[in-house]
Amino acid sequence: MSSNSSSNDQDPTGLLNASIRDLKTRLDRGDHSPMSLSAFFAERIERLDPALNSFISTQIPEIEQTELKGDLAGIPFAHKDIFCVQQGRTTCGSKMLADWHAPYSATVHEKLAAQGAVLLGKTNMDEFAMGSSNENSYFGAVSNPWDVNRVPGGSSGGSAAAVAARLVPFATGSDTGGSIRQPAAFCGVTGIKPTYGRVSRYGMIAYASSFDQAGVIAKTAEDCAVVLNQISGVDRRDSTSSPEPVVDFTADLEKPLSGLKIGVPKQWFSEALDNRVAEQVEAAIAELECAGGTRVEIDLPDADIALSAYYLLAPAEASSNLSRFDGVRFGYRCDNPQDITDLFERSRSEGFGPEVQRRILAGTYALSAGYYDAFYLRAQKARRLIAGHFEQALSQCDVIAGPVTPTVAFKKGEHSADPAQMYLQDLFTIPVNLAGLPGMSVPAGFVDGLPVGLQLIGRHFAEAQILNVAHQYQQRVDFHQRIPPGFGGEGFGGDEHNTGGAA
Amino acid sequence: MSRYAADAGFEVVIGLEIHAQLATRSKIFSGASTAFGAEPNVQACAVDLGLPGVLPVFNEGALKMATLFGLAINAEIAKVSSFDRKNYFYPDLPKGYQITQLARPIVSGGQVRIQVGEGDQAYQKTINVTRAHLEEDAGKSLHENFESVTGIDLNRAGTPLIEIVSEPEMASAEEAVAYARKIHAIVQYIGICDGNMQEGSFRVDANVSVREKGQTELGTRTEIKNLNSFRFLQRAIEFEIERQIDVIESGQSVVQATRLYDPQKDETRLMRTKEEAEDYRYFPDPDLLPITLSEAQIEQWRAELPELPDAKAERYQAEYGLNRYDATVLTASRATANYFEAVLSAYPKNPKLAANWVQGSLAALLNRLEIDASQSPVKPEVLATLLERIDDGTLSNKLAREVFEVLAEDTDKTVDGIIEERGLKQITDSSEIEALVDKVIADNPGQVAAYRGGKDKLFGFFVGQVMKATGGKANPKAVNEILKSRLDS
Amino acid sequence: MALTHKELEKVARLARLGVDAQALVDLAEDVNQILAHVDRLNDQRIDACQPMSHPLDQSQYLRPDEVTESNQRESLMAGAPAQDQGLFLVPKVIE
């Protein structure tokens, strides 16, 4: 029952769970005009988002039929507010850019616009993508549609919440240490972080340049593949984008999994991982075996080393990347600066939130004289160690399957007092960014009515393969079609371990 | 002032850091123009302004030019080099960091031969270049335009630079200037920098220290920043040497610091001490990937190098029999060398004479007008004709210099035209000269007696008399011969 | 590996963050938690590794030396906090 668009009591119009391809068909058939389709979702945003705060800004698009050409013609979507778009403001979730209007658009946006996709708004996020709970936004915390007292994850929490609540068919995100996969897991939607360099970073405001990667959050692997087809490819405005040829990511979706080696990292199923989350993930892996996959135990040690390396390297890069926010040429400037130093120091301390300042200070220290070798250089070596572990593991299997997060979505404020606890959220996602590999989060069941994510990791540029695995899984379960209560759905359904309308 | 230092029993150690703007069309990391003198900020694109989300993309032209420089000084070209970030806050540094090369510079090692002093005092010396690396220039802070605020113009931000770092091997201001001039000549020879010091295309920082003779380790150094003329370089170093010696002799010790040279007061003053120095937090720029260069590419670029000053000087010595000093002076700037070669191609017969004139009257004229040889009012072909008239005896050197001055004044005139209208043609007809000689002898019986009595020195007097009578137009050689035959008979 | 208040003040100055004394005390603990990560990198296997700056083994793309940007001053400076005569304005900088 993939891409189920048959109307039912959860989804009378059939639009909420309609796949992008279904929506395209309906538009081509003339069931809806692009304008009415956008209006349908814009109305949901207006009515339902106040409960979520998943949008920082919205816009009612004026669509002329003529300009709607391309593979995504008329399909509404939202951008994480980290992507520069010439219309409207681009805030990155910060007071620093609260009123900033980008004079250019990100390559990702230009590519989507060129295919006729219709931007409905910019989604909320942790300030400068620094956070795992979306509590670090100047524009307020975002609520998880499955329980508004809980966080949606971060930093792409707005995009994940908006897609989960069916406010948009898909949204963009960025993933530096798990910022697409972790919120996708918490919100029960499908998210993909492609291989580092697969999608241009031009116009995507930098957090940590050697980790940042743009990606997609949608309901299904198929939708992720459809969108990824449009945004991938080398961009001469981003030196780190890869010339690797872009394949059709939808081509392999229907491929059976027979003979596929699925690596399961022992070390990830440790006391760090909540038992009931582990059960759901195991069930999902079992489902993949039923689909023809072969389970192989693999080693992925040193997740703690990966975490430590990341929390030295990412802040170091960030401390430098965020130096341009100095109150001189754009963005926030403090009132009546006494001298140039006062202008720098107050504009930055007033314009940045606490978590951003924490990481800038840590990163500045890690790079400062006398500590470079002990901190930054050492962490870079550790990064190589972790990348080596993955190379080893992926020589024994085709894809890696495991948990995305140690727990399900936690309560707002639960970890905000303790950054260290918050950072543990990224234990299973960060290693993937260190190695620059493609990773996905796929809805794989519920614990106490809260979604659990299955993480799939592939070899460099093997997005098509993990999308294939995810799609085959989604042919057998319906977790990705569950709609949070109060957002047009009857919720997660009765039996938590039910693999839904498995064929 | 090395002499001052030597007298005081000190020796001087100088190293230079030279920033040369590369003559690329576009900036090092963006497609904005590098042209000088545009309206403020019209040549600063989003990348140059360091706006959020934009990224640097490296300019192949800058890589080629830096590589050409490395090849020109026989340096090692890195097969793999990379960019680092130098982090500090300044209003005209848009990103809060400068993209530069610390760990893996494009050029390392290399030698430059300099000639110091003049004529037979001149000596040659080889200075080693430690490294040359690529980096981006910053913008400009304009303090004059407004009363209470500073204006920031970022047109210059992102202009490609190579920073050329020498070993501390220069022992005097003269050597430092000779080295700086040589680098200046090389970058212009190979066409990677326009060398315009007024516009800041070529800027020099000098690291100066002194130590008592015999000392082995270096004294504490000071760095004098942004010297934008060779004269300022000379004066700043001389002042700094004296200052440091005075400090030491008064029993204090030199403070490691960055200093600024003030041309008005002709002195250096403290900018900041080492303690106040920034912590630049260098680290590899994650927005840029390692630059790889193939041997083939390097060789292809090497083939585009023109003949360099040292090679030219060797050739002048071999082909034209010039001495090393003359050859080096003539090749010191590409313009002078081109002029000299143009004269020779118009009149190949007497290279030595051409060399003398280019270094003599022409050099004096160019100095007076403060222009280089390419802008000389006397064109090479014209000078060639003049030389021809000297060789064929039409003009004495003295008359030729007169003609040259006229040519400098009025560029429409020709050599032969001036000779005609001023009747400057030499008298070579011997009968005419004989008559004049006889008259002089007749008019000065006393001197003739004295000369014949053994006062040989008086010979010059007779020559003078004859020349006077002809207004200097008599051929000196002929006059001498005839006088001798008459007087000694 | 813990940061003293004095060190943190120096770092804040380097980073041009005008953090007041009290805020600095609160931050110190959090920053130290981040820096504590370095202690977990004491492992011989790490010493043996080459530093890794980029996830991909790729070399720099070279842009042809062409002027591709035209004057965009008006739109690029539209968001400037203070400007006049085409210049960004800041408090007087004394050199």
Rounded to an integer, the average pLDDT of B345-372 is 94
- Average pLDDT (A90-101) is 98
Domain borders along chain A are 3-261+438-492
The pLDDT > 90 percentage for chain B reads: 72
Residue span of the structural domain in which B434 resides? 430-488
Q: What part of B 29-88 touches A (C-beta under 8 Å)?
A: 46, 49-58, 85, 87
Average pLDDT of chain B to the nearest whole number = 92
Instruction: For residue range A1-38, list pLDDT tens digits in order.
Output: 344 444 466 788 899 999 999 999 999 999 999 999 99
Helix axes B415-422, B397-409, angle to 10 degrees: 110
Question: Which long-range contacts does B324-333 make (Cβ < 8 Å, 24+ apart)?
Answer: B324/B124, B325/B115, B325/B119, B325/B120, B325/B122, B326/B355, B326/B359, B328/B115, B328/B122, B328/B124, B329/B115, B329/B359, B330/B355, B330/B358, B330/B359, B332/B181, B332/B182, B332/B185, B333/B185, B333/B188, B333/B372, B333/B373
The angle formed by the CA atoms of residues C17, C22 and C25, to the nearest 5 degrees, is 85
pLDDT category of residue A174 using cuts at 50, 70 and 90? very high
DSSP B278: -
Which is it for the CA torsion A268, A274, A279, A281, positive or negative?
A: negative
Write out the two tokens for B99: 């993209």
* CB proximity C38 to A under 8 Å: yes
Closest approach of C54 to chain B, Cα-based (Å): 7
Per-residue DSSP letter, A162: H
Cβ-based contacts of A376 with chain B (< 8 Å): 283
pLDDT tens across A316-346, in order? 999 999 999 999 999 999 999 999 999 999 9
In the three-class reduction of DSSP (H, G, I as helix; E, B as strand; rest coil), residue B419 is classed as: helix
The verdict on a CB contact (< 8 Å) between C85 and B61 is no
Spatial separation of the C-alpha atoms in residues A398 and A264, rounded to whole Å? 11
The secondary structure element, H or E, covering residue A21 is: helix A20-29
Among the partner residues C14, C61, C88, nearest to B57 by beta-carbon distance: C61
Contacts of A358 (CB under 8 A, 6+ apart): A419, C27, C30, C31, C34
Let me know whether B256 and B330 are in one domain.
Answer: no
Angle formed by the axes of helices B324-331 and B309-320, nearest 10°: 130
DSSP state letters, A194-240? --TTSB--TTB--SSTTT-EEEEEESSHHHHHHHHHHHBS--TT-TT
Distance CA B283, CA A193 (A): 26
Task: Kindly state the percentage of chain B with pLDDT values over 70.
Answer: 99
DSSP string, A231-248: HBS--TT-TTS--PPPP-
Q: Do A361 and C51 touch (CB under 8 A)?
A: no
**β-strand B160-166 against B202-212: which pairing, if any?**
unpaired
Determine whether A132 is exposed, middle or buried from the number of CB atoms within 10 Å of its CB (0-12, 13-18, 19+).
Answer: buried
Interface residue B277 vs chain C (CB under 8 A)? no
> How far is B284 from chain C, CA to nearest CA, in Å?
7
Q: Is the pLDDT of residue B315 over 90?
A: yes
Q: Do B281 and A324 touch (CB under 8 A)?
A: no
* pLDDT for position B483: 87
Nearest to A84 among B50, B53, B282 (CB): B53
CB contact under 8 A, A323 and B57: no
Mapped onto helix, strand or coil, the DSSP state of residue C22 is helix
Interface check B153 vs C, CB under 8 A: yes
Q: Is residue A490 pLDDT above 50, yes or no?
A: no
CA atoms within 13 A on the CB side of B16: 34
Q: How many CB atoms lie within 10 A of CB A411?
A: 12
Question: Which ipTM did the prediction report?
Answer: 0.94
The single residue listed with the structure tokens 């942004």 is: B226
User: Which structural domains are found in chain C, ordered by start?
Assistant: 1-41 (1.10.20.60)
Single out the residue in B300, B329, B346 at which a domain terminates. B300
Query: Do B286 and C54 meet the contact criterion of CB atoms below 8 Å apart?
Result: yes
CATH code that applies to domain A3-261+438-492: 3.90.1300.10
Say yes or no: B154 and B229 in one domain. Answer: yes
Q: Do A102 and B281 touch (CB under 8 A)?
A: no
Same-domain status, B114 and B204:
yes
SS3 call for C87: strand
Q: Which residues have a Cβ under 8 Å from the Cβ of B31 and sit 6 or more positions away?
A: B45, C63, C66, C67, C68, C69
pLDDT at residue A67 tops 70: no
Contact of B210 with B5, CB cutoff 8 Å = yes
Do B58 and B135 belong together in one domain? yes
Provide the residue count of chain A: 503
Predicted confidence (pLDDT) per residue in A197-215, tens digit: 999 999 999 999 999 999 9
Residues B43, B155: one domain?
yes
Verify that B313 and B371 share a domain, yes or no. Answer: yes
User: For the domain that residue B452 is a member of, what is the CATH number?
Assistant: 1.10.10.410
For residue range B163-190, list pLDDT tens digits in order: 999 999 999 999 999 999 999 999 999 9
Q: What is the pLDDT of residues C60-72, one digit of tens each?
A: 999 999 999 999 9
**Whether B43 contacts chain C with CB within 8 A:** yes
Question: How many domains, in total, are found in chain B?
Answer: 3
Tell me if A209 and B287 make a contact (CB, 8 A cut-off): yes
Q: Answer yes or no: are the C-beta atoms of B45 and C49 closer than 8 Å.
A: no
Confidence of residue A66 (pLDDT cuts 50, 70, 90): low
Look up the pTM and report it.
0.91
Residues of chain A with a CB closer than 8 angstroms to some CB in chain B: 83-84, 90, 92, 97, 100, 102-104, 106, 201-206, 208-210, 236-240, 316-317, 319-320, 323-326, 328-331, 340, 344, 364, 367-369, 372, 376
CB nearest B49 (choices: A239, A240, A329): A329
State whether B167 and B85 are in the same domain.
yes
Residue B81's nearest CA partner among B291, B333, B323 is B291
Q: Which residues of B touch A324 (CB under 8 A)?
A: 50-52, 94-96
Task: Out of B284, B300, B316, pick the residue that ends a domain.
Answer: B300
Element (H, E) at A396: none
Average pLDDT over residues A262-286: 96
Q: CA separation (Å) from A178 to A175, A415, A439?
A: 5, 17, 9
Query: In chain A, what percentage of residues exceed pLDDT 70?
Result: 94
Cβ-defined contact of C90 to B44 (cutoff 8 Å)? no
- Residue A171 is classified by DSSP as E
Q: For residue A12, what are the contacts with CB-CB under 8 A and spacing of at least 6?
A: none
Share of chain C above pLDDT 90, in %: 61
Residues of chain B contacting C53 with CB distance shorter than 8 Å: 82, 284, 286
Q: Which of A29-33, A121-125, A157-161, B123-127 has the lowest mean pLDDT?
A: A29-33
Report the C-alpha gap between A113 and A75 in whole angstroms: 10
A51 DSSP 8-state letter = G
Average pLDDT of span B62-88: 98
Residue A147's H or E segment, with its range, is none
A485 φ/ψ angles, rounded to the nearest 5 degrees:
-55, 140
CB of B150 less than 8 A from some CB of C: yes
Q: Per the CB < 8 Å rule, is A374 touching C38?
A: yes
Size of interface A-B (CB pairs under 8 A): 107
- Look up residue B108 and give its DSSP letter: E
Q: How far is CA C56 from the centre of its chain?
A: 23
Residue holding tokens 């380097």? C14
**3-class DSSP state for residue A391?**
helix
β-strand partners of B164 = B18, B132
Secondary structure element (H or E) that encloses residue A164, with its range = helix A157-164
A493 pLDDT higher than 80? no
CA B462 to chain centre: 46
Which residues lie closer than 8 Å to A347 by C-beta, 6 or more apart? A325, A326, A327, A332, A333, A334, A337
Comparing CB atoms, the residue among C27, C30, C60 nearest residue A239 is C60
The whole-number pLDDT of residue A500 equals 40
